[in-house]
Amino acid sequence: MSELQRLKSSLDGIANSTKQVASGLESFKSKFGTQISQVQSSIGGSAQRKDQEVIQALQAAQKQVESASQALQQAAQTASNYGRSI
């Protein structure tokens, strides 16, 4: 196998793995969002600062998961495009 073929194969592998991880993160994000909503409902309108901190921390984590998924999808697309171009 030539160096070019190995590179293409590596890029395809990276793109596929990255897509799978991104898909898993999207699934997790959806379930996590449901769980956040449940926690928020359970806490209700509590005025305690700790309750609000929990919800804010969970929501911030959810946003980071979404950002990570988007970054992985972009990386997969870039690797795939590069592999096809060489």
Domain ranges of the chain: 7-81
Distance CA 67, CA 45 (A): 29
pTM: 0.82
The pLDDT of residue 57 is above 70: yes
- Per-residue model confidence as pLDDT tens digits over 63-74: 999 999 999 999
pLDDT of residue 1: 78
CA distances from 59 to 13, 33, 38, 49, 78 (A): 32, 8, 13, 15, 29
* pLDDT (average), residues 46-73: 91
- Per-residue model confidence as pLDDT tens digits over 2-36: 999 999 999 999 999 999 999 999 999 999 999 99
